[in-house]
Amino acid sequence: MRAIFILLVVLVAAGGGAAYYTTNYLSAEPSATFRTATVKKDTLLVTIGATGTAEPEDLINVGAQVAGRIESFGRDPYDAAKRVDYCTAVEEGTVLANIDPTMYKAQHDQAVAAVARAKADLVQLQAKCNQTEQEWKRARSLKPTQAIADTDYDLARANYLTAQANVEVGKAAIKQSEAELEIAKANLDYTVIKSPVRGVIIARRVNVGQTVVAALNAPSLFLLAKDLRRMQIWASVNEADIGRIHPGQPVRFTLATYPGETFEGKVVQIRLNAQSTQNVVTYTVVVSTDNPPTPEYPYGKLLPYMTTDVRFEVERQPDVLLVPNAALRWRPQPLQIVPEYQRKADRGQAAAASVPNATGPATSTTKSANEEHRRVWVKEGDLVRPVRVRVGKTDGSVTEVSGEGLKEGLEVVVGAGRSDVVNQDGGDTKNPFIPQIRGKSAPKAQK
């Protein structure tokens, strides 16, 4: 009797355990919700990514060549009531600023007076030269008759030659004074700072009343962009990718301030002055692009120094089947696979595990090892079945695929909706807000 009782207890316990296991483990798997994506036929662009900065094609630093106090700013050429400032459009020759000219005007006046004095001195010297010339002529006429002493004859000759030399000195003094006048005039003109080009003021670096000192280097007062209708993108490209960049190459780039909008350009220059940061070598690639002004954006949408996400177009593959990379990464649990494919899937995953990078998508540069064979998973009822595909190139988000049973419009699995199944990256997905019981984890696939 006791043996029968113990047997009944064991049977009840075993039945309860089996029911618990079936409810919590086996019955959960078929109810998983799969997230799918559609296989599309489209053009695949193989690109190289980089980060760049928008730069004007021509930047001009307008400086001061003389020292002094900023007395005033010039007038806006399009609105006389305003002074030039940030974002002012200026023409060539527009007055940007005035430096106090008092000292330079005085120097100019001194130079003018020096020229006038030098010219007057020359007149005196020429008169003296004419006098000595006449004395030298009389001495020469008296010499044959011995009517003049030899000393007087020699003195007359020396005075004439000296007077001639003084005339030449006077002429040189005039040229020297005129040169000093030119310097003084130039310095006076430099007190008026003018725009050398037609453009837009990007930066104003001085204020009225500020003193600028032009000693060793000319201080920068204004920064002008010559033409914002054309812009350049300076992109930093890794040395591993620079070999596939060439002038004329099409480029697409985006800006954070205009989400969903793509801009186009082309490579115009690859600069040779590479930069190395923590053993990472990068080259600056210059991309040219149009930046037309509009009533809404008078300076164009692309403003100086904006950060851009640049994509260099390396290769274009038209009319190919594309799947998201997540579809190639996702792996189901064995209980989610149609039974007739379970053993094949186990063998395929074991073989893939022995190949380096077998679970990752093909790189954006070349096809992986003679177009690697991979799998995507297709729903069949509440389970999934594998479809063998040949992997081509990728742009980082979608990959080119081909194979039997693969066609446009096919739904492939990219992930599972339950928290206790494998996610699209091949790892266990757990909700961090659900308490975990020590010693118990999500149900594992049975072998």
Residue 407 near residue 378, CB atoms below 8 Å:
no
**Chain centre to alpha carbon of residue 216:** 31
- The CATH number of domain 103-187, selected from 1.10.287.470, 3.40.1350.10, 3.40.50.1820, 3.20.20.140: 1.10.287.470
pLDDT of residue 346: 58
List alpha helices for 31-149, DSSP H: 102-142
CA distances, 291 to each of 89, 190, 263 (Å): 16, 34, 10
Phi/psi at 313 (nearest 5 deg)?
-80, 115
pLDDT of residue 374: 84
Q: Which CATH architecture has domain 47-56+227-316?
A: Beta Barrel (2.40)
Which residue type occupies 38? T
SS3 of 258-301: CCCCEEEEEEEEECCCCEEECCEEEEEEEEEEECCCCCCCCCCC
pLDDT of residue 389: 92
pLDDT of residue 143: 86
Residue 129 near residue 166, CB atoms below 8 Å:
yes
Question: Whole-angstrom Cα distance, residue 233 to residue 255?
Answer: 12
Candidates 317, 415, 390, 411; CA nearest to 40 is 411
For the chain, which residues score pLDDT lower than 70?
1-32, 215-218, 343-373, 417-447
In the chain, residues under CATH classification 2.40.50.100 are: 63-99+191-225
In the chain, residues under CATH classification 1.10.287.470 are: 103-187
415-445 per-position pLDDT tens digit: 986 534 434 344 344 444 433 333 333 333 3
pLDDT of residue 340: 82
Question: Whole-angstrom Cα distance, residue 54 to residue 287?
Answer: 9
* Strands 211-212 vs 68-73: parallel, antiparallel or unpaired: antiparallel
pLDDT of residue 32: 61
Q: Which CATH architecture has domain 63-99+191-225?
A: Beta Barrel (2.40)
The model's pTM? 0.65
pLDDT of residue 341: 80
CA distances, 88 to each of 299, 391, 427 (Å): 11, 55, 57
Question: Whole-angstrom Cα distance, residue 359 to residue 96?
Answer: 63
In the chain, residues under CATH classification 2.40.30.170 are: 47-56+227-316
Residue 228 near residue 291, CB atoms below 8 Å:
yes
Residue 421 near residue 331, CB atoms below 8 Å:
no
